């Protein structure tokens, strides 16, 4: 009897040891799988956000083309009450809404600033606008709202140096967008595939209804780097790895590397600079 009890104890103890060892092995396998799977999940999410951002830009690029087909020119970068600061004028964005199916906007009173108190019918739409993501990159870590207004992740290029938004369309420093001026295909003598219209930025953007710095920007030639990513400081950039996305004047979307040569980015920022571009 004593021998049987001793055997049972040894058997039970042996089984208990095997179970603990199995648990340890199982936990090690699970941790290894998690370590292998998590980076893949993170990369998948990054790819999905980048794809969503690209779709946003494709939609804006197509809307720009449709606007040009309808009005024989692209929308002005700023429109509204003359002699007002650009930030009080309307941006290009409201002009695109007929070709952006996600939201229908009421008619704005362009003789008043976009944030004028009399714009009540328009301002009443600001609630839905806060949920409108066409102008917001999913990889942009900032809050969608800035100063209680919906902000944009996409910036229009006015050309080289601070006064480029006011330059004539044939000036070699002029870019795609201009204050109270339209740009046409014929004026883009550098070629529509060699000219950037919109590009991502996580610096100093604001409400996409407002013109000026919230939605338009010139390239500051001495302010390096031109393009950054993952929150690094740069004139333009995104939360995507390696650079940011942009819309060309032909409506196509391209990825701009943070390693782009400064002279190439400068050439892409103008419509009639006459530069010869390498493959990019």
Torsion sign across C-alpha atoms 76, 79, 82, 86: negative
pLDDT-based confidence at residue 248 (cuts at 50, 70, 90): very high
Q: Can you tell me which residue has the tokens 């001793």?
A: 6
What are the angstrom distances between the C-alpha of 235 and each of 127, 179, 213, 218, 231?
30, 20, 12, 9, 11
**H or E segment to which residue 246 belongs:** strand 243-248
Each residue of 170-181: pLDDT tens digit?
Answer: 999 999 999 989
Q: Structure tokens of 137?
A: 């990159």
pLDDT-based confidence at residue 234 (cuts at 50, 70, 90): confident
pTM here? Answer: 0.80
pLDDT-based confidence at residue 145 (cuts at 50, 70, 90): low
Count CA atoms within 13 Å of residue 14 on its CB side: 6
Q: What pLDDT is attached to residue 29?
A: 73
Average pLDDT over residues 53-82: 94
Q: Structure tokens of 115?
A: 């944030």
Each residue of 179-218: pLDDT tens digit?
Answer: 989 999 999 999 999 999 999 998 888 888 889 888 999 9
pLDDT-based confidence at residue 232 (cuts at 50, 70, 90): confident
Q: Can you tell me which residue has the tokens 């390239």?
A: 219
pLDDT value at 14 more than 50: no
Cα torsion 143, 212, 61, 247 to 10°: value is -80
């Amino acid at each position: 009897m004593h021998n049987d009890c001793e055997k049972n104890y040894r058997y039970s103890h042996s089984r208990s040891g095997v179970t603990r060892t199995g648990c340890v092995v199982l936990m090690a396998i699970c941790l290894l799988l998690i370590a292998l799977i998590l980076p893949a999940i993170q990369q998948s999410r990054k790819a999905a956000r980048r794809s969503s951002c690209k779709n946003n830009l494709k939609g804006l690029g197509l809307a720009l083309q449709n606007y040009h087909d309808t009005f024989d020119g692209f929308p002005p970068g700023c429109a509204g009450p003359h002699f007002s600061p650009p930030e009080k004028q309307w941006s290009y964005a409201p002009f695109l809404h007929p070709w952006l199916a996600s939201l229908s906007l009421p008619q704005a009173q362009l003789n008043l600033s976009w944030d004028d108190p009399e714009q009540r019918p328009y301002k009443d739409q600001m609630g839905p606008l806060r949920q409108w993501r066409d102008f917001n990159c999913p990889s942009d870590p900032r809050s969608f709202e800035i100063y209680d207004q919906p902000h944009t992740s996409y910036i229009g290029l006015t050309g080289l140096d601070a006064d480029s938004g006011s330059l004539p369309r044939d000036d070699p420093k002029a870019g795609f967008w201009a204050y109270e001026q339209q740009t046409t295909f014929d004026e883009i003598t550098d070629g529509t595939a060699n000219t950037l219209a919109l590009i991502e930025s996580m610096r100093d953007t604001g409400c996409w209804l407002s013109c000026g710095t919230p939605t338009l920007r010139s390239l500051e030639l001495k302010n390096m780097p031109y393009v950054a990513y993952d929150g690094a400081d740069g004139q333009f950039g995104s939360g995507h790895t390696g650079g940011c996305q942009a819309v060309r004047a032909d409506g196509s979307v391209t990825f701009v590397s943070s390693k782009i040569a400064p002279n190439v980015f400068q050439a892409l920022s103008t419509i009639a600079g006459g530069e010869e571009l390498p493959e990019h």
